[in-house]
Amino acid sequence: MKLFQRTISFNLRLRGISLASLVVLMIVGAGAFAQSTEEAAIKNVLKDGPAAFFKRDAAAWQALWKHSPDVSQTRFNSGFSATLKGWDKVSEQAMNAIKEDPQPLPINVAQENFIIRVDNKLATAEYDQTTSNFPDEPETKFRTHQYVILEKDNNKWKVVTQVSTNPESYVDNDTNIEARMNAAGYSLLNTKKIDEAIEVLALNVKLFPNAWNTYDSLGEAYALKGNKDLAIKNYEKSMALNPKNENGIQALAKLKK
């Protein structure tokens, strides 16, 4: 054994490398390998989250989160922000979405430009995410920047915080102006100001007469007002522009019963 060690030491000296340096290199290499392994595990969690949600696999989606009161989920875009605090709230919203539309969705999710930092049992991840192939709007690509905090729990990485922003929503263009006005209309609906909401959503229809979603939203406002005829008229206009509008199909079925 000593002869073997002396042989290694001699060969290393010939190459200008000390045995101590070799040990340091081995430690650094092991650390880098461990880091890359953790990063791969974290990327899998980030990828599996939306995949499970769109497959409508509630159990798989829930398994990726830490079930504790300190978890949170926040979404930002121009004219809209929402934060859910606590596992009960975060889970409730996702489970309601799955129950309302239980059929798996063929939505594609691509992730890139990862920045991952790992410190013992805590990690952060930033990345860009593109969601596409929506059933209602197959040509639409929804781009967001994600910031996620993860915690290692029972040797598995779990999401504790997720912040999603939509940088493209802050650009002034027709698509975003329409979306902002639509959000303003729904804000008025949420505060029971139905007449004011109808005014805003009707203006949105006037400004963007070829956008199916403006008619869909106005139809919903008229339905809440109790004006069934105008609700049906606007939903039918929305369906003419977008026959795949599932919300319109369901709303019309209820209104025409």
Confidence of residue 36 (pLDDT cuts 50, 70, 90): confident
In this predicted structure, what is the pLDDT of residue 22?
44
Q: Answer positive or negative: Cα dihedral of 223, 97, 253, 140.
A: positive
pLDDT-derived band at 32 (thresholds 50, 70, 90) equals low
Confidence check: pLDDT of 3 > 50: no
Q: Tell me whether strands 72-77 and 80-85 are parallel, antiparallel or unpaired.
A: antiparallel
Residues in the chain, total:
257
Place of tokens 């779990």: 158
Asked whether this chain's domains 34-169 and 172-255 adopt the same fold, the reply is no
Highest mean pLDDT among 49-63, 136-150, 168-182: 49-63
Residues 6+ apart with CB under 8 A from 135: 105, 106, 244, 246
Written as six digits, the tokens of 227 are 């004006």
- pLDDT tens track for 154-179: 999 999 999 999 998 888 899 889 98
In this prediction the pTM is 0.68
| In the predicted structure, residue 134 carries a pLDDT above the cut 90 | no
What is the DSSP code string of 21-58?
HHHHHHHHHHHHHHHHHHHHHHHHHHHHHHHHHHTT-H
Cα 27 to Cα 162: distance, rounded to the nearest angstrom: 33
SS3 112: strand
Q: What is the mean pLDDT of the chain?
A: 88
Residue 237 pLDDT exceeds 80? yes
**In the structure, what pLDDT confidence band is assigned to residue 30 with cuts at 50, 70 and 90?**
low
Separation between Cα atoms, residue 225 and residue 209, nearest integer Å? 22
Instruction: Identify the band that residue 247 occupies on the pLDDT scale cut at 50, 70 and 90.
Output: confident
**Residue ranges of domains in the chain:** 34-169, 172-255
- Domain 34-169, CATH among 3.30.300.20, 3.10.450.50, 3.30.1450.10, 3.50.50.60: 3.10.450.50
At which residue do the structure tokens 């595990």 appear?
Answer: 41
In the predicted model, what is the mean pLDDT of residues 114-118? 97
* pLDDT at 25 > cutoff 60: no
Neighbours of 67 (CB within 10 A): 14
pLDDT at position 21, please? 52
CATH superfamily of domain region 172-255: Tetratricopeptide repeat domain (1.25.40.10)
Alpha-carbon dihedral of residues 46, 76, 57, 66, nearest 10 degrees? 60
Residue 170 has what pLDDT?
86
Q: Does pLDDT of 17 surpass 80? A: no
- C-alpha neighbours within 13 Å on the C-beta side of residue 144: 17
Maximum C-alpha span of the chain = 96
- Contact of 112 with 101, CB cutoff 8 Å: no
* CA-closest candidate to residue 42, choices 164, 162, 159: 159
Q: In whole angstroms, what is the distance from residue 228 CA to residue 220 CA?
A: 10
Provide the percentage of residues in the chain whose pLDDT is more than 70.
86
- Between CA 209 and CA 202 the distance in angstroms is 10
Q: Which of 75-79, 95-99, 117-121, 209-213 has the lowest mean pLDDT?
A: 75-79
